[in-house]
Amino acid sequence: MRALTLPILLGSGLGNQLQRSMALALIGGMTLGTFVSLYFIPLAYWYIYRKQGERG
């Protein structure tokens, strides 16, 4: 999906100044979402269940 927004970011032409900020927001949001879903959520589950395993 990020590869599809890259031409919007790098392109030049009519309306490119308006589309560039949209492309940056999309790429940043998708990158952050990927990081959260691949690293943060599994780490949070591991931390929660590790604490429960010590108690029970």
Residue 55 has pLDDT above 90, yes or no: no
Q: What is the pLDDT averaged over residues 1-10?
A: 72
Give the domain ranges of the chain: 2-55
- 36-52 pLDDT, tens digit each: 999 999 999 999 888 77
pLDDT of the residue at 1: 62
- 22-41 pLDDT, tens digit each: 888 888 999 999 999 999 99
- Distance between CA 53 and CA 7 in Å, rounded? 49
Give yes or no for a contact between 28 and 1, defined as CB atoms under 8 angstroms apart: no
pTM: 0.67
- HEC readout, 17-55: HHHHHHHHHHHHHHHHHHHHHHHHHHHHHHHHHHHHHHH
